[in-house]
Amino acid sequence: MEVETQEILGSLGDSVGRLNAAASLLERTVAWLEARESAISGDVQKVVAAVENASEPSQAEAELERKLRAAEEEIAELRAAASQPPQRRKTQAGESTQLLAKQGTGVEQIESATLDAALTGLSLEQRIAVKSRLLRAGALI
């Protein structure tokens, strides 16, 4: 019986040793968790401070808002301009100019000799282009 008692005491001593090891491990884990909790609460405080500071618009945000307002005003002006009826053409169409020129009204007619004297400084191609335009307009006799 004495052997059984010693075995029980030995196993009990081993169990107590393991319990002590487990208790010290639990104490270290609790200490680590407390340190982690304080670090996390510090991070939360930093985030809260950042959010509170972000409530004030930065200079970049103010600049972007100003540009947005300017773009919206320009869009409104363009929409207002698009809703107005188109303005009438202020120049005469080419066909009406030719008709007036053929009738001798609205456009002065130029003599060929006078035109040649005026165009002496131009190259041959440029003179031909000017004369052909005047002929099409009916301004050349």
Q: How confident is the model at residue 107 (pLDDT cuts 50, 70, 90)?
A: very low
Could you please report the per-residue DSSP string of the chain?
-HHHHHHHHHHHHHHHHHHHHHHHHHHHHHHHHHHHHHHHHHHHHHHHHHHHHHTSPPHHHHHHHHHHHHHHHHHHHHHHHHHSPPPPP-SPPHHHHHHHHHHTSSS--B-HHHHHHHTTTS-HHHHHHHHHHHHHHT-B-
49-104: pLDDT as tens digits: 666 666 666 788 889 999 999 999 999 998 888 887 766 555 555 655 665 555 55
pLDDT at 128 over 60: yes
0.95 cut: is pTM over it?
Answer: no
- Average model confidence (pLDDT) across the chain: 76
